[in-house]
Amino acid sequence: MNQYILSCCSTADLTLEHFQKIDVRYICFHYSLDGKEYPDDLGQSIPFSEFYARMAAGAATATSQVNVQEYCDYFEGFLKEGLDILHVCLSSGISGSLNSANAARDLLKDQYPDRKIYIADSLGASSGYGLLMDTLAQKKADGMEIESLFNWTLKNRLRVHHWFFSTDLTFYIRGGRISKTSGMIGSLLNICPLLNMDNLGRLIPRYKIRTKKKVIRTIVDKMEENAEGGTQYSGKCYISQSACIEDAREVARLVEERFPNLNGRVEINDIGTTIGSHTGPGTVALFFWGGERTE
């Protein structure tokens, strides 16, 4: 029997409608804007446009992950219904959410000895994490049992590729991903850093590319280099963006032009408030399936 729920964190950066359509439950991270705390609830409390406009105007942001008690309360709601749980966490390379989820599972297992709680590390973020969840949801709908789906997740999670670029270095400097001196020079020279997620789920700067036009071409080149089947790639492709929709649309246009066998159109989502608190506006991310990430 398929009596289990598939779950993740709001940081998978899919829309509310998408989560509902694929029957994936989620638990919200938290963020603060100028000292006031909100749930990272897919833009329902504060629209993404307002969030990024306030960041650009200088609003201070901070984030906090789901704590152990929140996970206990969240999981227990399903356990009381007699449901098992497969919960997939935001990458342990950028968050401690996995530790909180594991601690909650350990606290609950004696109370619900007949129930199973599987916790998996996505080693992904934003809509790359969302692409993984979308695929898992399809496999669940096709009848895959919970233990098999958990094992499939662990075996295949590194096949989701994550590439990011930013045209605004302000928040990368503020967060320490780029030094202040490098950031100032980069801004003067119109440098757009290109980053990806490594095999430990960490966001790593890879290239310093001059001009937005060139970095847009390069991120699509990286998809051709790494996608399963190259330009014959026939899987789904997701993009997420933070207040730079035209840049995201240009990446999507080039992807659809170069990869004619895509499974549907490129899906563009907003980078949510947790990830966006660190990237700020001006970031575009591209996600697709390929070979296993090894470094």
Q: At what angle do helices 146-156 and 126-141 cross, to 10 degrees?
A: 140
Spatial neighbors of 247 by CB under 8 A, at least 6 apart, are 167, 212, 216, 241, 282, 284
CA distances in angstroms from 228 to 251, 261, 292, listed in the order given: 18, 12, 10
Q: Which of 147, 7, 179, 170 is nearest to 90 (CA)?
A: 7
Complete DSSP assignment for 256-277? HHH-TT-SSSPEEEE--HHHHH
Predicted TM-score (pTM) of the model is 0.93
pLDDT confidence of residue 63: 93
pLDDT confidence of residue 83: 97
Average pLDDT taken over every residue of the chain: 93
User: What band does 181 get if pLDDT is binned at 50, 70 and 90?
Assistant: very low
Q: What is the mean pLDDT of residues 235-242?
A: 98
- Contact in structure between 272 and 138 (CB atoms under 8 Å): no
User: In terms of C-beta density within 10 A (0-12 exposed, 13-18 middle, 19 or more buried), how is residue 36 classed?
Assistant: exposed
Query: Phi, psi (5° rounding) for residue 4?
Result: -150, 160
Q: In which order are the strands placed within the sheet that holds 24-27?
A: 24-27, 4-9, 84-89, 117-121
Say how many Å lie between the first and final Cα of the chain, rounded: 38
User: What band does 185 get if pLDDT is binned at 50, 70 and 90?
Assistant: very low
Which range among 67-81, 119-133, 186-200 shows the weakest confidence by mean pLDDT?
186-200
H helix count then E strand count, the chain: 11, 13
- Contact in structure between 203 and 293 (CB atoms under 8 Å): no
Q: Which helix (H) or strand (E) holds 160?
A: strand 160-166
Q: What is the mean pLDDT of residues 264-270?
A: 98
Is pLDDT of 270 > 60? yes
pLDDT confidence of residue 68: 97
Q: What is the mean pLDDT of residues 249-267?
A: 98
Distance in angstroms (rounded) separating the CA atoms of residues 192 and 204: 14
Q: What is the mean pLDDT of residues 143-149?
A: 97
Residue 205, beta-bridge partner list:
195
Is pLDDT of 57 > 90? yes
User: What band does 180 get if pLDDT is binned at 50, 70 and 90?
Assistant: low
Q: What is the mean pLDDT of residues 244-252?
A: 97
User: What band does 190 get if pLDDT is binned at 50, 70 and 90?
Assistant: confident
Q: Which of 75, 136, 133, 130 is nearest to 100 (CA)?
A: 75
Is pLDDT of 290 > 80? yes
Q: Percentage helix, strand, coil, to 5, in the chain?
A: 45, 25, 35
